[in-house]
Amino acid sequence: MNDLAQAIDFVPPANWPAMSRQECVERLTAPGQRLEMETIDIRGVPTRVWKNAPANLRQVAMAGRAHGDRLFAIYEDERITYDAWFRAVARLAAEFRARGIAKGDRVALAMRNLPEWPVAFFAATAIGAICVPLNAWWTGPELAFGLANSGSKLLVCDAERWERLAGHRAEFPGLETVFVARGGKPVEGGERLEDVIGTPGDYAALPPCELPPEEIAPDDEATIFYTSGTTGQPKGALGTHRNLCTNVLSSGFNTACAALRRGEVPPDPVKKVGLTVIPLFHVTACSAGLMGYIVAGHTMVFMHKWDPEKAFQLIEREKVNLTGGVPTIAWQLLEHPKRKNYDLSSLEAVAYGGAPAAPELVRKIHEEFGALPANGWGMTETMATVTGHSSEDYLNRPDSCGPPVAVADLKIMSEDGETELPTGEVGELWARGPMIVKGYWNRPEATAETFVDGWVRTGDLARLDEEGWCFIVDRAKDMVIRGGENIYSSEVENVLYDHPAVTDAALVGIPHPTLGEEPAAVVHLAPGTSASEEELREWVAARLAKFKVPVRIAFVEGTLPRNANGKILKKDLGAFFA
């Protein structure tokens, strides 16, 4: 039993585990089973895949259509059925075709979690276009970069995002068509999305129609999700239809394993209600969440903006069964003083990934909600889920992100990338499987550096135990993860260096009880110059998204401490904020 499991007072049920992990894999993936595997060639690499996964996102959309009058999405007072959603998808896909969008063209998507988001996403991907979900928290220049870099021909956005972008129109000359949702009056420089498909309340009245025809192979390109680059410019991870469709069965595999380990027969799929609180422009919500939800016929509840008490109201009103996303959200639900005013008994599972979670969180979810905690590991380059565990397995190893799903492999490599390290040793985590993206959009050098013979070099430092459970111990990449949002240090440091008074700067993460960590900076000012903490924070805020702004800035008289190679010793900088 794991020492931390004892520390959080986990007592395994009698006769648990009823089956080893390997026995679970063999039983669930046996010939004829829903989770059967086969080995195929992907870009020259023999790869295990789920034999029964949907072949492409077009098939996922058709699976959603089959749920008919089941509620697809709830947003404030809007309630949209699967049938209504599919009508809007098919109508918008036809409009995209009429506007000249062909297979391989990029269609950008920039908006809050609104019912229009999954309509636009599937309208693009179901006709073979590449959807480019842009970070809705980005500033105008950041959004403009994404449009220009991806070469998007068409953009679907909400009015807030278009307001940020409108002044940067000259920076993305390849964009031909803009559809703006929820803008009300006529849109300068764009068209109203409502003039094509109406408001979500109108979708059910759209005439039934089929998707425009298109042949789509599993390994055709489907998405570009941007991940912040360590050199300051985001990199677009180029995902395939297979990458996203793999998650549909990976989630089911993890659920079935938990049941077998408990000595139970894996339950038949049951339609649930999930509160989706993390942005759909993240692979966690889009790939690990949305794909499986649509195939299963789950209902998604969206929020305009995260607010714990509003979440309680929605959980009570809509009888929400599933929620989570990142540890921050779970902590806020647990610690809010008004939690006990609401009936949250419908909650069955609180799952999260995207950031390290304290073992204490695992125990509290189980104790306070009576819900089963679940955790997993993935990254933009793996289109979310690579590992996962829940229930007793998670309580037994609360510091682990679980073992890999059956179609994935993990290995721990030496710093030079040449030697695989033995069980228990810490090194760089490498991952392989059908969820690994093709590479980076128009970045051949970065692709060659990160993707090696089917493996992705994750930049995370980790170890594997004798049963294959993965333990992330540190990040080799220079990154702060604030509540699941990646902040690459160099991006913020470069902005600080642009300030005329700053000659040396470093960004580090400082602990935060609910967000995991927050960004803080240490700077050295040029002799004879001055700048206050507030001035520098405003300087960053004017140039980057708000979540990237350092919450604290410390000043040092000399230059920052460095090693013999001239690299700043960031591990020594935390003392400035103790």
CB 520 within 8 A of CB 507: yes
Predicted confidence at residue 230, as pLDDT, reads 45
Calculate the alpha carbon distances from 161 to 30, 109, 110, 138, 172 in Å: 48, 10, 6, 9, 15
CB 560 within 8 A of CB 573: yes
Angstrom distance (rounded) from CA 273 to CA 300 = 6
Asked if 3-53+237-475 and 479-577 have one fold, the answer is no
Residues with Cβ < 8 Å from 17, sequence gap 6 or more?
261, 262, 392, 393
Which element (helix H / strand E) includes 107?
strand 106-110
* Residue 459 DSSP SS3: strand
CATH class of the domain at 3-53+237-475: alpha beta
Calculate the alpha carbon distances from 180 to 25, 37, 108, 109, 435 in Å: 46, 42, 12, 10, 32
Angstrom distance (rounded) from CA 271 to CA 264 = 20
Give the chain's radius of gyration (CA, Å). 24
Show me where the domains of the chain are located. 3-53+237-475, 57-216, 479-577
Strand partners, 553: 521
Angstrom distance (rounded) from CA 300 to CA 38 = 32
Residues for the chain: how many in total? Answer: 578
Pick from 31, 37, 44: which is nearest to 409 by CA? 37
pTM above 0.85, yes or no: yes
> At residue 443, what is the residue type?
R
In 303-454, at which residue ranges do the beta strands (DSSP E only) sit? Answer: 322-325, 349-352, 372-379, 384-390, 409-413, 427-432, 439-440, 451-452
pLDDT in tens, 316-339: 999 999 998 777 778 778 878 899
* Angle in degrees, CA 165, 167, 169, rounded to 5: 75
Helices marked H in 73-199: 82-98, 116-125, 140-150, 159-165, 194-197
CB 2 within 8 A of CB 399: yes
Residues with Cβ < 8 Å from 523, sequence gap 6 or more?
496, 502, 504, 505, 506, 536, 553, 554, 555, 556
Residues with Cβ < 8 Å from 349, sequence gap 6 or more?
321, 322, 324, 371, 372, 373, 374, 390
Angstrom distance (rounded) from CA 245 to CA 305 = 28
Angstrom distance (rounded) from CA 374 to CA 187 = 43
CATH of 479-577, one of 3.40.50.300, 3.30.300.30, 3.30.1180.20, 2.40.50.140: 3.30.300.30
Predicted confidence at residue 473, as pLDDT, reads 80
Angstrom distance (rounded) from CA 292 to CA 248 = 4
Name the CATH architecture for the domain at 57-216: 3-Layer(aba) Sandwich (3.40)
Output DSSP code: residue 404: B
Predicted confidence at residue 565, as pLDDT, reads 47
Collect the ranges in the chain with pLDDT lower than 50: 230-231, 564-565
